Structure 1
Amino acid sequence: HALKGPKSLSKCDIPVPFFMSVYFFHIVNPNETLNGEKPMVVQRGPYVYRENRWKDNITFHDNHTVSYREYRQYFFEESMSVGDESDVVTIPNMLVLGASVMMENMPLPVLLLLSTAFKSFNEGPFLTKPVGELMWGYDSKLVDFLNKYLPGMLPTSGKFGLFAEFNNSNTGQFTVFTGQDDIRKVHMVDSWDGLKSVDYWRSEQCNQINGTAGQMWPPFMTKESTMPFYSPDACRSMELVYQRPGVSRGIPVFRFVAPKTLFANGTDYPPNEGFCPCRQSGLLNVSTCRHNSPVFISHPHFFEADPVLLDTVNGLSPNEEEHGLFIDIHPETGVPMNVSIRLQLNLLIKRVFGISETGKIAEVVMPMIWFEESGYIDGPVLNTFRTNLVVLPMVMEYMQYSFIGLGLAGILGAVMLYLSDKVKSRMVGQPCTDVDPSSSACEKTPLLQTPTS
């Protein structure tokens, strides 16, 4: 309330443990896949990374909003992982198979030149490298070549890795409402990177920036509430729906999950037509915000996706417990107590005429990795929440009933005392002939004496 005009604060560390667990789909039959057979994968992992998150450039504005950037760093946690970053796995080579699909409509001489470049730099259709290099980047002469002659094609000018652009990065500038003027707007996004909407998609509805930044929501949620949020990594807004009540670390929560329509295609769910061109339901085409690379997002193991996708790859077994995303939230405050966001990264691969490295590969949306970002309130923060949200309300409720009981007992005692006194007063002064001579009432009744003459 004391802020007048824009005010800046120093960085704010988020006192909640966050972890990213990464699972690789190791291809066990790369040669057969190159010859057109169905790919066979084996899940490797998890490889767990602790996330350090903090907000910086925090600025409050006169219109009851606050701007900030959230930064993140990742540190490998070997004790929580199944394996080490030195483990070697085989996955599709995005530089070859991804670039081939991106360039498939180019003239044949261009495709032949690209194929020659692949051979010159000894780049094949599949990569067999340590987990750490696949995650955070490896040196590639092909990357240098593409950045020189096709600038802007790749998201990085240095090492190439699946998460190279995420470490030591931020998610853009969020401007959210503080709720000072209206608690129903607290945490809701006013703009992202100065934008009220994005331009990645083909409809106004799909381009909208809705909900919060995905960390807190307005309080007083009900079973009819939804949880909208904007995800810069997915380049779109998403919305979770109520599933069931529960308890998380002793605190009552509502569990919200992704609806089956989240990644449905435009045929199965017309409002999603703006996210097309679509393939089967269960896939989100993010090529428009990922340098036009043929990348798709889905639930892990194609959970809740079109069964056709499972028929194109061997080794997948989706189930809700392991592969469904959820947020457990305390409904009265809108604070998440337990979060598990699970997404899968897929690459469209197929044979491209003129590029021999693609061989006879059948057209398939190939799972590469899936990852889970999880966080939960623990330690002193959890103790504070449990005290304020569970213990104190429970004590106050018990005290309320105790005071009601004491009040009723006091009233009942007063009534009984009043009735007892009234009965005794009626009995006083009655002759002993009218009552039992041995009764206390007779004994206390004064004897009538006749005055002597």
Structure 2
Amino acid sequence: FLLLTLLGSVFASLSYFIYVYNPLEIVIEKVCSFYPNSIVYGLWKEPPFNILIKVYLFNVTNSNEFLEGTEKLNLSEVGPYVYREELYNDNVTFNDNGTITFIPKRRLTFVPELSVGDPFIDSLLLPNVPLLGITASLIDQSMFVQIGVSSISAYLGAEAFMNLTINDYLYGYDDSLVTLANDYLPNWIDFPKFGILDRIMNLDNGSNIVTMNINPEIKMSDNQLLTTEERLQQFSIQNWDGSSGLKHWGYIASNETDSVLQNSKCNLVEGSFMGTIFPRNIKENSSFSLYRRAFCRPIPIQYEKNVVTKDGFKGYLYRVEQNFLATAEENSKNKCYCKSEQCVPKGLGDLSPCYYSIPISMSQPHF
């Protein structure tokens, strides 16, 4: 009888425990907790994502006629040259205030079986980006400066178009103008060779020290640009290189409770995500912004629809907001990206503040 009473008490207590506490939630909480050597930490530190970067280049087919002014520029698309991107987070430090500090790193590996050719062999006639970029960046300078640069370029034999291999164009080639600028203007042109992909990866792999929230129960800041829910979001960025915002877009550091007119969601990086990990229990119509330094700005994403994966899991499909590259008149959130009240056309995003003030833009494919 005593044994039956004891078993009854145990089962009653167990039933009450299950009624009050959901065992499945307890297991999920344990498995999905973020701490050193946990499953989630391992997935975040070296994400197992298969990210492919497909590079398309445009071969110039009528350079002489274009330079003579007799024809419009004709281009022929060549590609893709495919690279696999691997992300890993280095120098991870768990802080006592519910955050971690780390340095994100990326590396690229060429994928020949998915590419149209060999980047070390294939060559195209391509625009001389350093010459065109430096010339365009000096357009507001005096006539004497522009004449001086033009004379130096002519003396060095710089041409508007160059025949280069794909690898040289992406990862760097010897250019006399770049070498000269690097020798005499190292604070501006801090590289001896110019390659488009090389500069992008250099920005991503630079001295990027990120602080990320990992405890959703700790209020990390009083930033008035964020809602209470946004301030508490787990795995969101608290600051990037010590700043809550992007100084190159006009963000001014201040006391958290101060209001600075120039500061807005437009130039704020706090509250954004890096895209490798998100909080649990995301609501269906939630919206986020993703930040990657190479993009020079946060990228807003929004809910599109419910989906079921090929493995049968239910999920939410998110896409980049359709108007994220709209003009400031159409999308007021983009106002801070207009320098001196001058905005790039609709469909383009200005990247020049992150790339040596050389006029360069991003767009959707074939916008």
TM-score interval for Structure 1 and Structure 2 normalised by the shorter chain: 0.7 to 0.9
How far residue 119 of structure 1 moved from its aligned partner, in angstroms, is: 2.0
Listed as ranges, the matches of 1:366-385 within 5 Å are none
Residues of 1 paired with 2:316 and 2:73: CA distance?
39
Q: Deviations over 1:32-91 (max 9, x none)?
A: 333444322222111111223221100001111111111122121111111110211222
CA contact (8 A) 1:56 1:70 kept: yes
* Residues 246 and 268, structure 2, Cα contact 8 Å, conserved in 1: yes
Contact 1:217 1:227 in 2 (8 A): no
Instruction: Kindly name which structure, 1 or 2, has the bigger radius of gyration based on alpha carbons.
Output: 1
Give the TM-score normalised by structure 1: 0.61
* Of 15, 37, 56, the match for 1:23: 56
8 Å Cα contact 2:309-2:315 kept in structure 1: yes
2:209 paired residue number: 173
SS at the partner of 2:247?
A: coil
Greater strand proportion: 1
Tell me, yes or no, if the aligned pair for 2:34 and 2:214 is still in contact at 8 Å.
no
Asked if the contact 2:182/2:192 (under 8 Å) is kept, the reply is: no
Report the CA distance between 1:264 and its aligned residue.
0.7
Q: Which residue of 2 aligns with 1:445?
A: none
Matched with 2:221 is: none
8 Å contact kept, 1:227–1:256 = no
**2:118 is aligned with 1:84:** yes
Q: Residues 17 and 152 from structure 1, CA distance in 2 versus in 1: closer, same or farther, beyond 3 angstroms?
A: same
Residues 256-312 of structure 1, C-alpha deviations (whole Å, 9 max, x = no match)? 11222201111222231211121321111121222211111111111xxxxxxxxxx
1:253 maps to 2:315:
yes
CA contact (8 A) 2:235 2:277 kept: yes
Partner of 1:103: 138
Matches within 5 A, 1:57-72: 57-72=91-106
The percentage of counterpart residues that share the same residue type is 27
Q: Distance in 2 between matches of 1:180 and 1:30?
A: 57
Instruction: Please say if 1:207 is aligned against 2:267.
Output: yes
User: Unpaired segments of 5 or more residues in structure 2?
Assistant: 1-32, 36-40, 219-228, 251-261
Deviations 1:358-407 (A, max 9, x none): xxxxxxxxxxxxxxxxxxxxxxxxxxxxxxxxxxxxxxxxxxxxxxxxxx
Q: Which residue of 1 aligns with 2:74?
A: 40
Which residue number in structure 1 is paired with residue 282 of structure 2? Answer: 221
CA distance in 2, matches of 1:123, 1:283: 28
Q: Using the alignment, how far apart are the partners of 2:60 and 2:238 within structure 1?
A: 44
Alignment of 1:269 with 2:304, yes or no, is no
The 3 A distance-change label for structure 1 pair 2 and 263 is closer
Determine if contact 2:324/2:331 at 8 Å carries over to the other structure. no
Letter in 1 for 2:334: N
Residue type at the aligned position of 1:190: Q
Deviations 1:111-137 (A, max 9, x none): 222122212222111122100001111
- Say whether 1:278 aligns with 2:326: no
Letter in 2 for 1:121: L
**8 Å contact 1:137–1:164 — kept in the other structure?**
yes
Q: Distance in 1 between matches of 2:34 and 2:343?
A: 50
- CA-CA distance at 1:238 after TM superposition: 1.9
Give the Cα–Cα distance (whole angstroms) in 1 for the partners of residues 200 and 287 of structure 2.
28
Equivalent position of 1:128 in the other structure: 163
For 1:153, give the aligned amino acid: W
Tell me, yes or no, if the aligned pair for 1:265 and 1:278 is still in contact at 8 Å: yes
Partner residue of 1:242? 303
Distance 1:218 1:195 in 2: 22
1:12 and 1:259 map into 2 onto residues whose CA distance is 28
C-alpha spacing 1:300/1:152, structure 2 compared with 1 (3 Å) = farther
Matches within 5 A, 1:54-453: 54-85=88-119, 86-154=121-189, 156-167=190-201, 170=205, 172-179=208-215, 181=217, 185-202=233-250, 203-205=262-264, 206-209=266-269, 210-250=271-311, 251-276=313-338, 277-302=342-367
The TM-score normalised by the length of structure 2 is: 0.74
- Other structure's SS at 2:199 match: coil
Q: Render the CA deviation track for 1:302-335: whole Å, top value 9, x for unaligned.
A: 1xxxxxxxxxxxxxxxxxxxxxxxxxxxxxxxxx
CA distance in 2, matches of 1:136, 1:286: 19
* Distance (Å, rounded) in 1 between the aligned partners of 2:141 and 2:200: 31
**Code of the aligned partner of 2:47:** I
Q: CA deviation at 1:165?
A: 3.3
In the aligned structure 1, how far is the partner of 2:234 from the partner of 2:297? 20
Per the alignment, in what secondary structure is the counterpart of residue 85 of structure 2? strand
Tell me the SS of whatever aligns to 1:185.
coil
Match of 1:118, SS state, is helix
Q: Contact 2:174–2:193 at 8 Å: present in 1 too?
A: yes
Give the AA of the match of 1:260: Q
**CA shift for structure 1 position 188:** 0.7
Q: What secondary structure, in the 3-state scheme, does the structure 2 residue paired with 1:233 have?
A: helix
Q: CA deviation at 1:180?
A: 5.5
Structure 2 SS opposite 1:262: coil
Letter in 1 for 2:294: D
> Equivalents in 1 of 2:287, 2:55: separation in Å?
28
Query: In angstroms, what is the RMSD of aligned CA positions?
Result: 2.6
Contact 2:126–2:161 under 8 Å retained in 1: yes
CA distance in 2: counterparts of 1:279 and 1:100, whole angstroms: 18
Which whole-Å CA distance do the structure 1 matches of 2:146 and 2:344 have between them?
Answer: 25
Measure how far apart 1:230 and its partner are: 1.9
User: Is this contact kept in 2: 1:174–1:213, CA < 8 A?
Assistant: no
